[in-house]
């Protein structure tokens, strides 16, 4: 099933708009907005605290949201699903709380050259702080992780391997099962950045087996400000908390404290209930569409856009072939700067991204200052591909 544009109030009220920047953030269906409004108009109170029915209802809504999201992404032990502000916070949580407790001088951290800054900088900073070695796996010319090099980089000194499931800049779908097996065979833990996978691929996090898996709600039809970190129970229980304060404690003595059980140990302070409720509604919406259909729909549009763009002189598309990418087309058009291209497209109501896509290490490796990126999602159609192609042709006319 494909999503109806009419389900998305912003798109429904802007019939001429071609929104091709869902890898940055997605539009929200009415079902998500309604769920959040319903929470605030009927169930809002501070959960876990009040001795009254309304607070119990808020607690219940928060709990139900966690259960729904856990089921959607294949997490059986929902207490191991921790709410955060997004992928960035999830990854910083792991690099800081787990990393400071487990990574020391001369240990090694393996990442790849394909990472978003959110899965690059926290590891770089951890390595600098504790004197560990950061090893960065190369990227092939067609934008894949060099898996042979990855195999040689991961060794007995590797404490953690961190990599994305899907690249935001190119759309590359990484061989994460193989990468997880390689890291685990060496005794390393695995942190997987699923920000671009959870919205676009059928996902079974338990079956995948990464020790940590992170994603953001706002890229998968949910609200901004709510994301997820999934961790293995034994790892989460053994590591220290990230932030301290209300809700996450068991007992506070004058000179020390003990921690609450999972997931509360990692959710200090008043939780973001309404956004969790919104994200759960987004999961329900995607579940109804069927993630296999979501993937197939994006693949069709990505293949079509790639083919039609490549038929235009001077267009180069980066990354592996469309069948091995998510709904991302990263491209350049001759000497036209991607920012100029995006400006021309904007004049035609086509929204794309231009720049380094928070992946400067990748751009350096591909020797590119920037690319233009069109990214597709459930509400896009062939009409959006037509508008993109027409806009690129127009840019070529304007810039000669």
Q: Is the CB of residue 236 less than 8 Å from the CB of residue 267?
A: no
Q: Is the CB of residue 260 less than 8 Å from the CB of residue 248?
A: yes
Q: Which of 47, 86, 225, 278 binds ligand PLP (CB under 6 A)?
A: 86
Binding mask 148-187 for ligand PLP (x = CB under 6 A): ----------------x---x-------------------
Under the binding rule (CB under 6 A), the answer on residue 118 touching ligand PLP is yes
Under the binding rule (CB under 6 A), the answer on residue 195 touching ligand PLP is yes
Residues 137, 192, 283, 358: which is the catalytic one?
A: 358
Q: Which of 27, 68, 88, 174 binds ligand PLP (CB under 6 A)?
A: 88
Under the binding rule (CB under 6 A), the answer on residue 84 touching ligand PLP is no
Under the binding rule (CB under 6 A), the answer on residue 116 touching ligand PLP is yes
Closest-CA residue to 327 (of 296, 354, 349): 296
Q: Which of 216, 272, 299, 302 binds ligand PLP (CB under 6 A)?
A: 216
Q: Is 80 a catalytic residue?
A: no
Rg, the chain, Cα only: 22
Question: What is the smallest separation between the CB atom of 96 and ligand PLP, expressed in angstroms?
Answer: 15
Under the binding rule (CB under 6 A), the answer on residue 193 touching ligand PLP is yes
Binding mask 354-373 for ligand PLP (x = CB under 6 A): --------------------
CA angle, residues 330, 164, 389, in degrees to nearest 5: 15
Under the binding rule (CB under 6 A), the answer on residue 87 touching ligand PLP is yes
CA angle, residues 17, 227, 178, in degrees to nearest 5: 100
Question: What is the smallest separation between the CB atom of 182 and ligand PLP, expressed in angstroms?
Answer: 20
Q: Is the CB of residue 137 less than 8 Å from the CB of residue 115?
A: no
What are the residues facing 19 on neighbouring strands?
351
Q: Compute the distance between CA of residue 338 and CA of residue 321 in angstroms, rounded to an integer.
A: 21
Q: Which stretch binds ligand PLP (CB under 6 A): 31-39, 86-94, 172-180, 329-337?
A: 86-94
Active-site residue set: 358
* Residue ranges binding ligand PLP (CB under 6 A): 86-88, 116, 118-119, 164, 168, 193, 195-196, 216
């Amino acid at each position: 099933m494909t999503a109806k544009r009419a389900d998305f109030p912003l798109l429904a009220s802007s019939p001429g708009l071609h929104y091709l920047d869902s890898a940055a953030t997605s539009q929200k269906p009415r079902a998500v907005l309604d769920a959040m409004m319903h929470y605030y108009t009927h169930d809002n109170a501070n959960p876990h605290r009040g001795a009254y029915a309304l607070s119990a209802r808020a607690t219940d809504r928060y709990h139900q949201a966690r259960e729904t999201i856990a089921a959607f992404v294949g997490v059986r032990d929902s207490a191991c699903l921790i709410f955060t502000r997004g992928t960035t916070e999830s990854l910083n949580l792991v690099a800081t709380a787990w990393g400071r407790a487990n990574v020391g001088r001369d240990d090694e951290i393996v990442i790849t050259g394909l990472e978003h800054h959110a899965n690059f900088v926290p590891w770089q900073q951890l390595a600098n702080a504790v004197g560990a070695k950061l090893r960065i796996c190369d990227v092939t010319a067609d934008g894949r992780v060099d898996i042979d090099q990855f195999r040689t980089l991961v060794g007995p000194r590797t404490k953690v391997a961190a990599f994305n499931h899907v690249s935001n800049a190119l759309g590359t779908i990484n061989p994460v099962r193989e990468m997880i097996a390689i890291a685990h065979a060496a005794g390393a833990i695995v942190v997987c950045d699923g920000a671009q996978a959870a919205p676009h691929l059928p996902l079974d996090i338990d079956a995948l087996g990464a020790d940590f898996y992170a994603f953001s709600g706002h890229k998968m039809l949910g609200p901004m400000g709510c994301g997820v970190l999934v961790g293995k129970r034994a790892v989460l229980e053994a590591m220290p908390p990230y932030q301290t304060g209300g809700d996450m404690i068991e007992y506070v003595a004058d000179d020390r404290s003990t921690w609450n059980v999972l997931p509360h140990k990692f959710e200090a302070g008043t939780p973001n209930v309404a956004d969790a409720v919104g994200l759960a509604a987004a999961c329900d919406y995607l579940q109804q569409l069927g993630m296999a259909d979501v993937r197939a729909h994006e693949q069709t549009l990505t293949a079509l856009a790639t083919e039609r763009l490549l038929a235009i002189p001077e267009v180069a598309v980066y990354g592996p072939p469309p069948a091995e990418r998510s709904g991302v087309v990263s491209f350049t058009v001759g000497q036209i700067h991607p920012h100029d291209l995006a400006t021309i497209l904007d004049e035609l109501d086509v929204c794309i991204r231009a720049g380094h896509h928070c992946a400067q290490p990748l751009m350096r490796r591909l020797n590119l200052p920037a690319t233009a990126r069109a990214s597709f999602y459930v509400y896009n159609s062939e009409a959006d591909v037509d508008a993109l192609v027409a806009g690129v042709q127009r840019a070529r006319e304007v810039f000669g």
